[in-house]
Amino acid sequence: MEIRSLRYAVTLAEELHFGRAAQRHFIAPQPFGRHIQRLEREVGRRLFERMLVSEVRRRIVEGWSRRWTICGRSVVLGLAISVARARDGRRD
């Protein structure tokens, strides 16, 4: 196991992008990826999930969508309660 490969893995974990991580080490993405693959073989498991950029974007959008849905439901519920109280003439 090479220290260089470990450094590459740390940079990849920080960047979450093979191309940008490779740039930080002034190496082309293909040899950078081979270092990561070699490290993964030595460890005996995959350390990073490979996804297309479109898949990453889709997952991010889905995550934000869920958060906004939960937040939106809370706002709507709060408004419904306020409207109901206003109709009943209560101000609690």
Q: What's the pLDDT tens digit per position in 68-80?
A: 677 767 777 787 8
Domain ranges of the chain: 3-43, 51-92
Q: What predicted TM-score, i.e. pTM, was given to this entire model?
A: 0.57
pLDDT digits (tens, 9 = 90+) for 2-42: 788 888 999 988 888 889 999 999 999 999 999 999 989 99
Q: Which CATH number fits domain 3-43: 3.40.50.1700, 1.10.10.10, 1.20.140.10, 2.40.50.140?
A: 1.10.10.10
- CA 91 to chain centroid, in Å, comes to 43
Is the CB of residue 29 less than 8 Å from the CB of residue 19? Answer: yes
- Report residue 86's pLDDT band, with 50, 70 and 90 as the boundaries: confident
pLDDT in tens, 41-50: 998 988 887 8
Quote the CA–CA distance of 50 and 56 in Å, as a whole number: 10
Closest residue by Cα to residue 50 from 64, 32, 66: 32
